[in-house]
Chains A and B, each alone.
Chain A
Amino acid sequence: MTMRRRDFLAGTAVLVLGAANSRATIISGGLPWTPNAGNPPVPITQGPWLYFTAEEGRAVEALADCIIPPDPQTPGGKDSGCAVFIDRQLAGPYGRREGLYIRPPFMTGTPQQGPQSADGPAASYRKALAALDQYCQSKYQGKRFADLSDKDKDELLDGLEKDKVKLDGADGKAFFAHAIKDVQEGFFADPLYGGNRDMVAWKMIGYPGARYNYLDWVERHNERFPLPPVSIMGRADWSPRT
């Protein structure tokens, strides 16, 4: 083995390896650095559904309002954007299960082994929403889920949760559990993803959002933190009004 001590090199070398489609690099000579590098999040754009059909969108908005009903202080799941959040998530990598292990065979396992479905979230929503509307139409004189009374909706969802209501062609209990998780994630995630519009959820609970320094507040015990929430994209009142 060589036992030489060598001097530090000045400058940085980042060499891309030979293969045409490889991202691999050789790093030596110092920390790699390029100006303005980074991978900031991309805020959703408002507008029509990207994944849902109009009827699916209506059903998910109705579901979102059951899971998080509006009250005089805080909007519900629909007006806080939770259905938009889910639509954009299903249209993106999450809906396609990008990065997840989706090789066959797909076998049914124990609950501890986790989801083993051949379908990803996007396909599961499509199937379950169709099954939900079909169930409602046969049970409630041709009405779709979104058109039921609030009381009927809650009773139906309670039945799904307790596995008393069975949908044809979809696991209603699993779907509703999944919808609760997605709606609540949308409600509490940064508004850049489409839910938590105007940071309504963060205002409701007293969470100050994407701040980065509480050094002066660690030892101010049992005092309410006074500043309003802020999103990764800032706040509406930070932008000059035109």
Chain B
Amino acid sequence: MPRKLPKKDVVIIGLGWTGSIMANELTDEGLDVIAIERGPWRDAPTQFPPNYVQDELRYRIRHELFLRPDQLTFTFRNKMDQTALPIRDWGSFMPPNGVGGGGVHWNAETWRFLPSDFVLRSHLTERYGASFLPEDMTIQDWGVTYDDLEPHYDAFEYLCGTSGTAGNLRGRIQDGGNPFEGPRSRPYPTPAQKQPFSHTLFAKAARDLGYKPFPQPSGNLSQAYVNPLGLRLGPCTYCGFCEWFGCGNYSKASPQTTILPLLLRKSNFSGRDQSEVIRIDLDRSRSHATGVTFVDTGGVEWEQPADLVILSAYTMFNVQLLLHSGIGAPYDPTANKGVIGRNFTHQTISSVNGFFDNKKFNFNPFIASGAIGMCIDEFNGDNFDHGPHGFVGGGYVGQVQTGGRPIQTTHVPPGTPKWGAAWKNAVRDNYLSTVTPGTGVHGSFYSYRDVYLDLDPTYKDRLGRPLMRMTIDFHDNELKQNAFLTDKFAEIIQAMGAHTVDKLYRKGPYDATEYQTTHLNGGAIMGTDPSTSAINRYLQSWDVPNLFVMGASAFPQNSGYNPTGTVAALAYWAAAAIRGQYLKNPGPLVHA
């Protein structure tokens, strides 16, 4: 029997970005809140101080800040008729762990999705006709609009101090910003970061080709900033150890830098680390959560009763906990019924390396930040006419060179041997004069009937529970999209003056061993119809109204942007609904 703890108003599962945002919002409402976090407490002076954070082997190659697969992993297969096997070491994505969650290791690329992204199926059907979409594509409208979310995007950007150049201020297009973005109510809180040489060269080449390049919105700050909670961030020093690393410099927006120092001083908040929630507990009606059960690292089970449960773990763990708790009908792709696990998506990533004459070009690639970059958005979402191309979706492309860390950034021209004197000479001759975008082509990944999550029949975790099984592959639509975007991107790299351009197209089948991004989405999606969504437009469970599910698991499909801005905006949107509506009259906010 679990040991029973005193009841709280709210229990939060996972203290990453969305858990921290919800905790801060709900403690402001006067509620007594506890957050339960699977991983350890993390902060800059202890875990990633500037005197030893610059360690590519320890943090990037050996994954020190990430979840360890022996704690929890997944099984993977491309197709429903294959046997899924366990992901024994991280490859195509790396799940976060610990206080701060993905907010510790993210690049801090802080985008908003396009207004048309939120009404995707209606928009595409209206413009191209329903028959333009592949038959097995299961994209949906979100049930929430860009206008609904705008104030919440704004709140997150001002929390973070995001550095950028506005492209659309209240409907007026601004020079130097992204002209395709939705209207924003005010400028970014801080100006864009400074740009290294290769980024300015990319911008010039893009302009010459008729595009409108703009600085990528960055949560690595261009200048010192005090956020609305009174917390201070310092200017980024362009050290080039950002994504996969913690920032030792208080320059990257994270729960640690923007929320936790204030949150932890509130007497109505407490956190428990090293404690993994294993079940959301339901009463006999199965439609009301009574709290959660968690297990600490000593193997002791505890019950934490609460009136309101916020599930704010990483995408995959949200879905897994819903399946383990028996909340919502598991998705069955054969019958096309059920909701938990459906519309699972990732991102369609590729890149292009550009090799330049080393007597004329020196890029100093190690001068970088995780979100620094010059991008174009002409080929994202539905910003261009897809009619002639026979696919839907798109992405931004840009010179987003996020570091020159030498284990992973010593690229050599195509055709170079992988070892020996020729390899060594090529590395020496090309390191400083090669453009190697960390994010080059950042494309959408739309949802399909046969890309989904369920429980594995064979493999178990350390607690004896079935692992979650990923069934995922690229479909023709995404591969066509990627070939189109990669070619467009390569034209710009060529125009920068590269003597050799290496186009690294994304090819099928989906490969779990090669890092792509950690932008996994869906599986507990939001929507307007309980037969095709797990949660309503306020992220409230259709089945258990005192449960709200945060995170990218809510995305019905993935857009061509990094997800964190939208994940955070959805958390603020849900918090506003809980504060403004739910607490006055606890129950379903939308009647199906």
- Residues of chain A touching chain B, judged by Cβ–Cβ distance below 8 Å, are 1-9, 12, 17-33, 37-41, 66-69, 71, 74, 93-94, 97, 99-103, 105, 107, 109-116, 154, 157, 161, 180, 184-185, 188-190, 193, 201-202, 204-215, 217-219, 221-225, 232
Q: List 10 A-B contacts (CB under 8 A).
A: A1-B31, A22-B296, A25-B273, A99-B70, A116-B86, A189-B56, A213-B238, A217-B238, A222-B363, A225-B366
A30–B264 CB distance below 8 A: yes
Contact, CB under 8 Å: A27 / B46: no
Contact B271 A103 (CB under 8 A): no
Give Cα distance in the complex from A166 to B494, angstroms.
42
Indicate which residue in B40, B57, B196, B267 contacts A8 across the interface (CB closer than 8 Å).
B267
Residues of A within 8 A of B298 (CB): 17, 19-24
How many chain B residues touch the partner (CB < 8 A)? 103
Which chain B residues border A40 with CB–CB below 8 Å?
Answer: 51-52
For the complex, give the distance between the alpha carbons of A101 and B91 in Å.
13
Q: DSSP majority for the B interface?
A: loop
**Smallest CB–CB gap between A231 and chain B, Å?**
9
* Residue B406 lies at the interface, judged by CB distance under 8 Å to chain A: yes
CB-CB under 8 A for A26 and B274, given A100-B68, A101-B70: no
Q: Does B45 contact A (CB under 8 A)?
A: yes
Question: How far does the alpha carbon of A223 sit from the alpha carbon of B58 in the complex, in Å?
Answer: 30
- Of the candidates A19, A94, A115, A210, the one whose C-beta lies within 8 Å of that of B300 is A19
Q: Which B residues lie within 8 Å of A116 (CB)?
A: 85-86, 88
Q: Which residue of A lies closest to B262 (CB)?
A: A8
Task: Please give, as numbers and ranges, the residues of chain B lying within 8 Å of A66 by CB-CB distance.
Answer: 419-420
Q: In the complex, what residue of chain A is closest to B15 when comparing beta carbons? A: A27
- Residues of B350-374 at the interface with A, using a CB-CB cut-off of 8 Å, are 361-364, 366-367
Structural contact, B274 and A102, CB atoms closer than 8 A: no
By the criterion CB–CB under 8 Å, are B299 and A19 in contact? yes
Q: Are A107 and B83 in contact (CB under 8 A)?
A: yes
Report how many A-B pairs have Cβ atoms within 8 Å: 277
Q: How far is the CA of A210 from the CA of B54 in the complex (A)?
A: 5
Question: Do the beta carbons of A218 and B196 come within 8 Å of each other?
Answer: yes
A184 B78 Cβ-Cβ under 8 A: no
Q: Which stretch from B135-143, B170-178, B509-517 is at the chain A interface?
A: B509-517
Decide if A25 touches B274 in the complex (CB within 8 Å).
Answer: yes
Chain A residues with CB under 8 Å of B268's CB are 4, 6
Chain B 205-227 near chain A by CB (<8 Å), digits 1 or 0: 00000000000000000000000
Cβ of B49 < 8 Å from any Cβ of A? yes
Known interface pairs A2-B9, A189-B57; A8-B266 also in contact (CB < 8 Å) = yes
B446 at the interface (CB under 8 A from A): no
- Inter-chain contact A24/B273, CB cutoff 8 Å: yes
In the assembly, what is the distance between CA of A64 and CA of B31, in Å? Answer: 61
* B54 near A211: Cβ-Cβ < 8 Å: yes
- Closest CB-CB distance, A212 to chain B, in whole Å? 5
Contact of A103 among B30, B62, B307, B460 (CB under 8 A): B460
Q: How far is the CB of B479 from chain A (nearest CB, A)?
A: 15
9 additional A-B residue pairs with CB within 8 Å, beyond A99-B70, A114-B88: A21-B298, A22-B296, A69-B421, A114-B513, A185-B407, A205-B432, A212-B53, A214-B237, A223-B362
Report B-chain residues with C-beta under 8 Å of the C-beta of A209: 54
The yes or no answer to B104 lying at the interface (CB within 8 A) is no
